[in-house]
A = this chain, B = another copy of it.
Amino acid sequence: MLSLITRPALSKYRSLWRSSQAAVRAMSSSGGPSPPYTTLAVSHPAEFVTHVEFHRPEKRNAMNRTFWREMVELFNELAVNPDCRAVVFSGAGEVFTAGIDLMDMANDVLQPGGKDTARKCWQLRKKIVAYQETFSVLERCPKPVVVAVHGACIGGGVDMITACDVRLCTQDAWFQVKEVDIGLAADVGTLQRLPRVIGSRSLVNELALTARKMYADEAKSSGLVSRVFPDKEVMMAGAIAMAEEMAARSPVAVQGTKINLLYSRDHSVAESLDYMATWNMSMLQTDDLMKSAQAAMEKKSPKMVVFSKL
């Protein structure tokens, strides 16, 4: 498996791993969710890096109604918090997530009120839109989100990770587009985003139409994840190191990059170039450009440059 990480990258993570061990252990020892949240633990393992941990380990991080709500609250906050320049998202406990908490959500989905079909549909549609929103906030947050998956990532978990910017996983991770197994077409993002994040439509269709599991090797070769790590500890070090790299660079550049990458996903090349030019006509006037260019010429690390808040 180790061959999956390019050698220079690996040695880098090894050394990072050591220096980040304290941080990682601190995280591991986190006593649980960060108030006011009850499903999410928020910490700051490195400068300008926010670590969000899905924390319902006793329920295998099943997504309950509280989780859906808290995600929107937290990421809307992170979107405007100048002290957050990159996010790492992971799951506490044995698996990343078991997907939707059917027990908790049954009322919502299975028993819409009233007798009139149209009115039941109306209520259901509002709920689906609200659930979709939960993951769309990950995209609308202009700060990059690195998601680190270990163990199982099932159903809603796949919907969620496809809305993140970078996907990493451990060698023991597996992914399952579970929805057809429980009688529905996946409706909170997988069918919309999965074909855009991996390069084989045949594979996308196979996964979505048969609900079979996909393991780490195939996730890597298909492009779903861009790196596979031997275990969770190394992965967390790698994820935080990557987030640090992002957080160390000009937030004007990094967040503008994320915004324009998402724009170009949904528009033609010509339209996207036009938008980009209109975006950068002002953003190129940032002081960060001169600071960064100078540091680059002096072979300084971006981490040594101080950028104003954004």
Residues on A facing B (Cβ under 8 Å):
6, 9, 102, 109-110, 112, 114-122, 124-125, 128-129, 132, 136, 144, 165-167, 179-187, 189, 191-193, 195-206, 208-212, 215, 217-218, 221-227, 242, 245-246, 249-250, 252-254, 256-261, 264-293, 296-297, 302, 308-310
Contacts and interface: CB of A to CB of B under 8 A. Distances in A.
A189 B210 CA distance: 26
Contact of A200 (B198, B264, B266, B270): B198
Given A128-B281, A182-B293, 13 more contacts: A121-B281, A121-B283, A129-B274, A144-B209, A165-B205, A185-B252, A187-B284, A199-B223, A200-B224, A209-B245, A221-B221, A267-B271, A282-B282
A180 B257 contact: yes
A185 B189 CA distance: 27
A118 B291 CA distance: 14
Contacts of A114: 308
B183 A203 contact: no
28 contacts: A6-B218, A114-B308, A117-B282, A118-B288, A119-B310, A121-B281, A124-B280, A124-B284, A124-B285, A125-B277, A125-B281, A128-B280, A132-B277, A180-B257, A183-B289, A183-B293, A184-B292, A185-B252, A192-B264, A201-B223, A202-B225, A203-B223, A204-B261, A208-B261, A209-B246, A210-B242, A210-B249, A281-B282
A302 to B, nearest CB: 6
A301 to B, nearest CB: 10
Contact of A270 (B119, B261, B266): B266
A201 B196 contact: yes
Contacts of A115: 287
A254 B209 contact: yes
A268 B204 CA distance: 17
Contacts of A292: 181-184
Nearest to A262: B269
A253 B179 contact: yes
Given A199-B198, A204-B261, A226-B200, A183 B119 contact: no
A269 B266 contact: yes
A14 B308 CA distance: 55
Given A275-B275, A292-B183, A209 B310 contact: no
Contacts of A185: 252-253, 256-257, 259-260, 276, 279-280, 283
A48 to B, nearest CB: 13
A218 B220 CA distance: 11
Interface centre among A183, A284, A310 (most CB of B within 10 A): A183
A115 B193 CA distance: 33
A119 B209 contact: no
A252 B189 contact: no
A274 B257 CA distance: 16
